[in-house]
Amino acid sequence: MPRLISSLSRIIKFITLSWLSLIGLWIFLPSPTIHEQRQHDEYIQQALTSGSILHTIYRFTPSFSAVPEPFRPYVSGPGGSLLIDWRLVSDPAHDDSVALLEMGRDLRVHINLTEAILKVQKRDEEEKALLDVNLEIDNPPLYISSEITVQVDAGDEDHIINMPWFPWSDAILFQNKMHGFTYDVQLRVVARRETGTVEIWKSDTLLACARKQEDSETLFNIDFDKISPSDRSDGLLASFSNIHPAAEAETAAPGGIISTIKVADMQMAELPSKTCRLRTLILIPLAPSMIVILYLLLDVFTPLLFPVLLPILGAYIIIVLICWAYYNFHSRYNATSRYDHEYGSAAAAENGGFADWCSRFWMTRHVYCFLFYCCCYCRCCLARSRRGRRDYYHYHRYWPGEKSEKHRGRVVIWGPAGPVYEE
- The answer to whether 393 and 410 are in contact (CB under 8 A) is yes
Rg for the chain (alpha carbons), in Å?
Answer: 36
DSSP 309: I
- E strand or H helix at 361: none
Check residue 205 and give its pLDDT: 86
> How many Cβ atoms from other residues are within 10 Å of residue 371's Cβ?
16
- The answer to whether 354 and 371 are in contact (CB under 8 A) is no
Check residue 215 and give its pLDDT: 56
CA distance 402 to 169: 64
Check residue 397 and give its pLDDT: 43
Check residue 74 and give its pLDDT: 47
Check residue 369 and give its pLDDT: 80
CA distance 330 to 336: 10
pLDDT, averaged in runs of 10, over the chain (423 residues)? 78 88 90 90 93 92 62 49 93 78 92 89 66 53 86 86 90 89 91 84 86 66 77 89 66 68 90 92 84 70 71 88 84 55 47 75 83 65 46 43 46 62 60
Check residue 309 and give its pLDDT: 75
CA distance 111 to 147: 12
Q: How far is CA 147 from the centre of its chain?
A: 33
The candidate with the shortest Cα–Cα distance to 45, out of 240, 195, 270, 199, is 240
Buried b (16+ CB within 10 A) or exposed e, 133-168: eeeeeeebbbbbbeebebebbbbbbebebbeeebbe
φ/ψ of 329, rounded to 5, equals -65, -40
Check residue 167 and give its pLDDT: 92
Check residue 88 and give its pLDDT: 94
Check residue 271 and give its pLDDT: 94
Check residue 127 and give its pLDDT: 61
Check residue 411 and give its pLDDT: 59
The candidate with the shortest Cα–Cα distance to 197, out of 152, 145, 143, 239, is 239
CA distance 401 to 351: 13
CA distance 57 to 380: 44
Check residue 416 and give its pLDDT: 60
- The answer to whether 277 and 68 are in contact (CB under 8 A) is no
pTM: 0.65
277-283, long-range: CB < 8 A, 24+ apart? 278/29, 279/26, 279/29, 279/31, 279/170, 279/174, 280/173, 280/174, 280/177, 282/22, 282/25, 282/26, 282/29, 283/26, 283/161, 283/174, 283/177
Check residue 2 and give its pLDDT: 67
